[in-house]
Structure 1
Amino acid sequence: MSDAAVPLLQVPLHALHVELGARMVPFAGYAMPVQYPAGLMAEHNHTRAAAGLFDVSHMGQLRLVGPDAAAAFETLMPVDVIDLGVGKQRYGLLLNDEGGIIDDLMFVNRGHDIFVIVNGACKAGDMAHIQALIGSRCEVIPMPDQALFALQGPQAAAALQRLVPGVEKLVFMTGGAFNWQGTDLYITRSGYTGEDGFEISVPGDRAEPLARALLAQPEVRPIGLGARNSLRLEAGMCLYGNDIDTTTTPVEASLNWAIQKVRRTGGARAGGFPGAERVLGQLDGTVPLTRKRVGLIAQERVPVREHVELQNTSGRAIGQTTSGLLGPSANQPIAIGYVEPEYAAVGTPVVAMVRGKPVPMTVSAMPFVPNRYFRG
């Protein structure tokens, strides 16, 4: 059977998306809303100004349960899991034996379990990988019946606290259990847009009533995958499969900040994760880097998309872009890409070859638009 013949899975909000006029597209094996009638630009701008509701129920949710869960999970990633406080959230990276990124994920210490959210396209593989490597040390419990929403934007807290009082007390990268009309929710103050906002795990059979209640708030509009992509790119965040994959290490991807000190040097918990020799060697300079992820801004108003060759000013190929578009809020063409390390310094001029035409670009710091997380 060809891929085209495989029926797409449906998220719990499928009928609501259709009712709202969404254009549905295949994504990670699901039919997902790429945009609604207002269009990508209006959705992007509304999220930056007010609050946007994203259905991200295609993503994978799982629980790790047992007294050894944190120590076991820590063996899969170059990340501090053991010392993460109850109610605190962290960004993590599952690595293969070469230090390549199997997936990036978010996880929360909920006290009674570790709650993990992985990417939709990777979830089956991730769960099999986690089960195979640490399933003997803790219970690995998939949560296929849970839906997941992201409510993002500067007015997200005002809208959500009307329905779920107390949620406004959360700060960036923390989470808590809440209740809405008898439905148990788990909410974190986090997201993928660079804005303040929340991610809400809700039982699938209660997803539509909650979504309708959120959309009834004056600040909130539905937002599709198109604007989700433009928002995350302006925030300088990686898209798995584009900007990071199994051939990319965290250091090449400029994700050194995600590797806590306790996992880096000396000490009993340094290393001990897949690919540690290569990753730690790249960190301390004993293993040379051949490329580095950078932000790029075009000096002409020409969109530079993914898979565009990057050259130095002498015309030699030095890398390529992995994501790119005309940033609606940045109001200029922006991109993420990989270049040889000597071209990675902010301010370095490079040239993108867009359909044979040279477009001058400059290596830029990220994010391209200032983050507005609520840190209390």
Structure 2
Amino acid sequence: MPLDGWHRAAGARMVPFAGYAMPIQYPDGIIAEHEWTRTHAGLFDVSHMGQLTVGGTGAAAALEALLPADLQALAPGRMRYSLLLNDSGGVIDDLIVTNVSEGEPTYFLVVNGATKDGDIAHLRTHLPAGVVLTPLPELALLALQGPEAALVLDRVFPGIATELGFMEATSRLLGEVPVRIFRSGYTGEDGFELSLPAVDAVTLADRLMAEEEVRPIGLGARDSLRLEAGLPLYGHDLDIDVDPVTAGLAFAITKARRADGGFPGAGRINALLRDGAPMRRVGLVLEGRMAAREGSPVFAGEEQVGRVTSGGFSPTLGHPIALAFVDTAHIAPGTALFAEVRGKRLPATVARPPFVPHRYYRKGEA
């Protein structure tokens, strides 16, 4: 990781993650980091994520054969959340696609760190000749998240706060260093992700940390923030055995693609969209202080009706929350269920994520 020494010098506790040593927290601790990001601006190192481009003649159509996104309608500088699917409609990975075309069609993909090698292999196998896949391991990726992120980044890249709305991207120079800037993130807060050469990552990190609103944030707070935001984590809430409808991600299948199909698993997925899925991903709000973790069974009376996929204590709300797959007969908000933790059944109430409202910046909104 390009910032490994930088993290250690800042007092980070490092842990193995996706084949890397990653900072799980800094000396102030996870709750303090979580609260700082909710009120100021947190700096995350997400350089373990995979970055790659797909370009050349027919790139949009080629990607549409693998993703349920309408990429041919995606304008330059626009971003879209999408899903890499297998033939049965299972999720190989979730990812962000950005149209970075300047002439020839080119799409910039950010994929999960733990799955990037498999994603690249899958894409190489299925993309036709003439469409060029280029992995970009020489790039780092930083995320600046929180209500003061735009204020801070506007000092570094003047005008960026008004130029970009949520899910829009552009490129700027930091001195002579090219930086690709995306208004996106994984915390539910307004924020930006910044892709640049790894050799220059320390320079940008130091520049951002020079602002009083910014503190470094580790993986622990990243996870609690994304859980409060109701955002699924691949390998926990998503995997190859989970389809987009069950996962509550039907929004990622655009209207045009539902009509024309042409993506892996389209027949099965359209049937689930029409008839409903047997289970759905929901939120659970638990009483007390004990959190239900991944794998905890969920009960309605004496009948097991689901399982927790992600869970933890919410620093913002002051009680435990979880994401779970639950039989559709029990998914109405307000439904009373139980999550079993260490042999004890804890009262849980179905809720519709996000648990903490998103605060993305969209142009034209107050």
Q: TM-score, normalised by structure 1?
A: 0.94
Structure 2: how far apart are the matches of 1:132 and 1:31?
30
Name the amino acid aligned to 2:93.
Answer: D
Residue aligned with 1:237, SS: coil
In structure 1, the residue matched to 2:181 is 187
Structure 2: how far apart are the matches of 1:259 and 1:198?
24
In the TM superposition, 1:200-215 aligns within 5 A as 200-215=194-209
Picking from 171, 175, 189, the partner of 2:169 is 175
Structure 2: how far apart are the matches of 1:21 and 1:208?
16
The answer as to 2:37 corresponding to 1:47 is: yes
- Once the two structures are TM-superposed, the CA of residue 302 in structure 1 deviates from its matched residue by 2.1
In structure 1, the residue matched to 2:295 is 307
Name the amino acid aligned to 2:217.
Answer: I
- Once the two structures are TM-superposed, the CA of residue 137 in structure 1 deviates from its matched residue by 4.0
Change (3 A) 1:189 1:165: same
In structure 2, the residue matched to 1:236 is 230
Name the amino acid aligned to 2:139.
Answer: Q
In structure 1, the residue matched to 2:149 is 156
The answer as to 2:10 corresponding to 1:17 is: no
Per-residue Cα deviation, 1:211-240 (whole angstroms, up to 9, x for no partner): 011111110000000000000000000000
Residue aligned with 2:187, SS: coil
Residue aligned with 2:204, SS: helix
The answer as to 2:284 corresponding to 1:289 is: no
Residue aligned with 2:72, SS: coil
Structure 1: how far apart are the matches of 2:216 and 2:288?
32
Per-residue Cα deviation, 1:152-183 (whole angstroms, up to 9, x for no partner): 00000111111111211210000001111111
The answer as to 2:136 corresponding to 1:146 is: no
Structure 1: how far apart are the matches of 2:130 and 2:285?
47
Picking from 32, 35, 42, the partner of 2:25 is 35
Runs of 4+ in 1 over 6 A off after TM superposition: none
Structure 2: how far apart are the matches of 1:222 and 1:206?
17
Residue aligned with 1:295, SS: strand
Per-residue Cα deviation, 1:96-145 (whole angstroms, up to 9, x for no partner): 11110000000100113100000000000001111110152410000000
Q: Does the 8 A contact of 1:72 with 1:137 survive in 2? A: no
Per-residue Cα deviation, 1:180-216 (whole angstroms, up to 9, x for no partner): 1111000010000000000000100000111011111
- Once the two structures are TM-superposed, the CA of residue 291 in structure 1 deviates from its matched residue by 1.2
Q: TM-score, normalised by structure 2?
A: 0.97
Structure 2: how far apart are the matches of 1:16 and 1:114?
31
| Count of residues paired in the alignment | 359
Structure 1: how far apart are the matches of 2:129 and 2:318?
51
- Once the two structures are TM-superposed, the CA of residue 350 in structure 1 deviates from its matched residue by 0.8
In structure 1, the residue matched to 2:329 is 342
Structure 2: how far apart are the matches of 1:317 and 1:190?
37
Structure 2: how far apart are the matches of 1:78 and 1:186?
25
In structure 1, the residue matched to 2:218 is 224
Deviates further, 51-60 or 132-141: 132-141
- Once the two structures are TM-superposed, the CA of residue 89 in structure 1 deviates from its matched residue by 0.3
Structure 2: how far apart are the matches of 1:100 and 1:15?
38
Q: Does the 8 A contact of 1:196 with 1:374 survive in 2? A: yes
In structure 2, the residue matched to 1:3 is none
In structure 2, the residue matched to 1:5 is none
Name the amino acid aligned to 1:176.
Answer: T
Structure 2: how far apart are the matches of 1:166 and 1:14?
31
Structure 2: how far apart are the matches of 1:302 and 1:193?
23
Residue aligned with 1:82, SS: helix
- Once the two structures are TM-superposed, the CA of residue 344 in structure 1 deviates from its matched residue by 1.1
In structure 1, the residue matched to 2:308 is 321
Structure 1: how far apart are the matches of 2:329 and 2:261?
27
RMSD: 0.9
Residue aligned with 2:311, SS: strand
Unaligned runs of 5+ in 2: none
In structure 2, the residue matched to 1:134 is 127
- Once the two structures are TM-superposed, the CA of residue 71 in structure 1 deviates from its matched residue by 1.0
Structure 2: how far apart are the matches of 1:282 and 1:355?
34
Per-residue Cα deviation, 1:286-313 (whole angstroms, up to 9, x for no partner): xx5221100000133321111100010x
The answer as to 2:347 corresponding to 1:360 is: yes
In structure 1, the residue matched to 2:190 is 196
